[in-house]
């Protein structure tokens, strides 16, 4: 059964190694204490233009009342705007909150301390290897952390009675040319014995630059990195670095949060400390390099997987690109979901108003939409353990239907679905044995699904506009019946149906009585109103497939197929009866009446539009005979 006790996690860019390690530590430790985790992730700050305007929809997904506590990995947010919006929302909550941050924390915080290790590595060169000159290579694009690590480098030198030389500190970007300039800068005053690099990535770039320039590492220049990457472990010489205990950071964060939930103080420590990993590139020889063939296989597999994911995303994008029907789109999506490695459950949930149309478009198209129940969510697509589940609606108290939760022991990852400022809903994913394996290609999946949903909304809006244009082109503005364009377009199909099914055609011609008197006595607005009432009377008697039209003035045309003589006569009587009832109830100073004539024929092959016009001519003569009777009866 799904845990009643929940921890919410706000984190961005969950596909990153730091984020996944952190979340895994949180999930595992939370489960030990009987809690489950609900992870809310976004993709802020990736320079996606106006598409990214909807990132803040992540704030609308959670049911905040369901959490015993919340963890906020604030340092993972590239966009400070989104970070501040989440922070503002969290400050309104009564539950305990722990922040995972190294700066500007607004709540009780737990941080990963791996900056001071730069000083330990500097001291290692000076005391173990007796280096006389140690340089520092910083990162210009990540200055906050880089400057901290530089300060520990300087502090370590100072403790041993040294100060950096004029050419001992350089800050560069992640560019080969800039790293080459850093090497040249250090070597202006002789070859440095050691270089402490900001992180493994920069260290490996500097290692490549030094080797390409003919230096031996560590023979001529010793190098260290930080943050312990797989690439650094598989290079020769193996990179001396600093550990990256993000899993331990996750477990420590949960411990602190649970202490607050229980009403106590945050558990100690507030920092999770990294430690130096002494390998080969500093000049020590404690670690034997693994056979490079294994790493080459890993790289080859990674490249193959990347190529496959690119092609798969392209295939998915092209498949969903022209979808205009949601059910058809989800049938296509079902073929792609099994490609998500180790995914146990996949849900696509939509807000009740996900495809709503703006009030401006509704006004333009003379449409209305029912008021959406904003507390209802539609689980439109669900795949669990390889089986498609039926769609259903449920209340927003839970983010998934009760029957899904009741049979689950999973931690769920929630990803918002949106396009610009339009909020669609969210995806929910769970992995086998709660082992997070969220790959970067799922970002493209998210965008593909968002674009499909937006395309469906655009198709709905475009359809409404097209229908409105067709109405304007084919229908009479005053009465809503067809105009001449509409009549001409529908006449031939009705004729063909009558011929093929052997149905009689009946042409009605209806003319309003005393319209001139109404206009002269009560004004043209009243005359237009009377024409509208007559149009409603005619339309109310029409059956499906009949063509009711007003070309201009007060003459109306109706063409039907399948009426018997008795039914045709009754049709004319029904129009008159409608007007009689209206006159009794309207309170107008004038009555609205009409004269009606009709003529019928059984069309055979060769029957044409000209023959139909002859029927209307016969109906016109009959109509005038009736009008004369009406005139005589009023005289």
Topology (CATH) of 475-634? Alpha-Beta Plaits (3.30.70)
In sequence order, what are the beta bridge partners of 99? 72, 109
In this prediction, residue 369 carries a pLDDT of 76
SS (H, E, C) 485-517: HHHHHHHHHHHHHHHHHCCCEEEEEEEECCHHH
Q: What is the mean pLDDT of each run of 10 residues along the chain (635 residues)?
A: 79 91 95 94 73 83 94 90 93 94 86 92 96 96 91 96 95 96 96 96 96 95 94 90 94 93 75 92 75 65 71 80 91 89 94 87 78 85 93 90 84 93 94 89 87 92 88 91 95 96 96 95 96 96 95 94 96 96 93 96 94 96 92 73
Q: 290-308 burial by CB neighbour count: b if 16+ within 10 A, else e?
A: eeeeebeeeeeeeeeeeee
pTM of the model: 0.80
Q: List, by residue range, all CATH 3.30.70.270 domains of the chain.
A: 475-634
Three-state DSSP at 262 gives coil
**Contact 317/449 with Cβ under 8 angstroms?**
no
Q: List, by residue range, all CATH 3.40.50.2300 domains of the chain.
A: 117-226
DSSP codes, 413-470: EEEEEEETTEEEEEEEEEEGGG-----THHHHHHHHHHHHHHHHHHHHHHHHHHHHHH
Cβ contacts of 89-94, under 8 Å, gap ≥ 24 = 89/59, 89/64, 90/10, 93/64, 93/67
Question: What superfamily would CATH give domain 117-226?
Answer: Response regulator (3.40.50.2300)
Q: How far is CA 190 from the centre of its chain?
A: 55
The answer, yes or no, to whether the previous bond of 269 is cis (omega within 30 of 0) is yes
Candidates 376, 383, 283, 303; CA nearest to 337 is 383
Please state, in angstroms and rounded to a whole number, the distance separating the CA atoms of residues 627 and 344. Answer: 77
62: Cα within 13 Å, side-chain hemisphere: 26
In this prediction, residue 1 carries a pLDDT of 45
In this prediction, residue 414 carries a pLDDT of 96
Please state, in angstroms and rounded to a whole number, the distance separating the CA atoms of residues 15 and 510. Answer: 71
In this prediction, residue 439 carries a pLDDT of 83
């Amino acid at each position: 059964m799904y845990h009643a006790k929940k921890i919410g996690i706000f984190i961005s860019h969950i596909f990153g190694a730091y984020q996944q390690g952190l979340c895994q530590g949180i999930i595992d430790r939370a489960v030990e204490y009987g809690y489950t985790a609900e992870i809310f992730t976004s993709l802020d700050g990736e320079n996606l233009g106006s598409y990214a305007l909807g990132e803040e929809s992540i704030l609308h997904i959670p049911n905040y009342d369901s959490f015993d506590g919340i963890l906020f990995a604030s340092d993972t947010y590239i966009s400070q705007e989104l970070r501040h919006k989440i922070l503002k929302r969290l400050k309104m909550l009564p539950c305990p909150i722990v922040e995972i941050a190294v700066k500007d924390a607004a709540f009780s915080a737990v941080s990963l301390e791996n900056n001071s290790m730069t000083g330990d590595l500097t001291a290692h060169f000076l005391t173990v290897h007796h280096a006389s000159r140690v340089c520092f290579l910083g990162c210009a694009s990540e200055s906050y952390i880089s400057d901290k690590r530089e300060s520990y480098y300087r502090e370590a030198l100072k403790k041993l009675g040294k100060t950096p030389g004029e050419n001992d500190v350089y800050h560069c970007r992640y560019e080969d040319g800039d790293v080459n300039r850093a090497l040249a800068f250090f070597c202006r005053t002789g070859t440095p014995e050691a270089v402490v690099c900001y992180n493994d990535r920069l260290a490996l770039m500097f290692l490549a630059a030094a080797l390409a320039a003919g230096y031996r590492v560590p023979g001529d220049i010793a190098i260290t990195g930080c943050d312990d990457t797989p690439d650094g472990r598989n290079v020769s010489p193996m990179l001396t670095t600093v550990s990256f205990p993000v899993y331990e950071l996750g477990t420590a964060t949960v411990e602190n949060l649970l202490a607050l939930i229980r009403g106590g103080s945050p558990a100690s420590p507030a920092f999770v400390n990294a430690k130096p990993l002494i390998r080969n590139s500093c000049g020590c020889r404690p670690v034997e390099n693994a056979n490079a063939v294994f790493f080459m296989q890993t790289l080859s597999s990674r490249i193959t997987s990347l190529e496959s994911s690119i092609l798969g995303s392209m295939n998915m994008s092209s498949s969903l690109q022209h979808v205009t029907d949601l059910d058809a789109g989800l049938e296509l999506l079902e073929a792609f979901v099994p490609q998500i490695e180790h995914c146990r459950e996949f849900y696509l949930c939509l807000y009740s108003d996900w495809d709503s149309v703006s009030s401006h478009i509704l006004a333009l198209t003379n449409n209305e939409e029912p008021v959406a129940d904003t507390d209802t969510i539609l689980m439109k697509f669900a795949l669990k353990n390889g089986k498609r589940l039926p769609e259903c609606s449920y209340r927003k108290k839970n983010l998934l239907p009760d029957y899904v939760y009741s049979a689950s022991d999973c931690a769920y990852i929630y990803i918002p679905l949106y396009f610009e400022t339009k909020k669609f809903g969210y995806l929910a994913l769970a992995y086998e044995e709660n082992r997070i394996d969220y790959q970067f290609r799922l970002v493209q999946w998210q965008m593909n699904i968002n674009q499909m949903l937006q395309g469906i909304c655009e198709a709905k809006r475009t359809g409404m506009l097209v229908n409105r244009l067709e109405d304007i082109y084919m229908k009479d503005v005053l009465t809503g019946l067809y105009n001449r364009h509409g009549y001409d377009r529908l006449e031939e199909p009705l004729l063909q149906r009558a011929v093929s099914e052997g149905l009689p055609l009946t042409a009605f011609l209806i003319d309003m009585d005393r319209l001139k008197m109404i206009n002269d006595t009560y004004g043209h607005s009243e005359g237009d109103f009377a024409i509208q009432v007559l149009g409603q009377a005619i339309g109310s008697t029409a059956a499906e497939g009949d063509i009711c039209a007003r070309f201009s003035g007060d003459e109306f045309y109706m063409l039907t197929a399948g009426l018997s003589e008795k039914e045709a006569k009754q049709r004319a009587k029904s129009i008159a009866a409608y007007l009689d009832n209206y006159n009794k109830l309207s309170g107008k100073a004038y009555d609205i009446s009409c004269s009606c004539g009709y003529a019928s024929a059984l069309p055979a092959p060769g029957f044409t539009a000209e023959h139909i016009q002859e029927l209307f001519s016969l109906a016109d003569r009959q109509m005038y005979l009736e009008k004369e009777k009406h005139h005589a009866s009023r005289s």
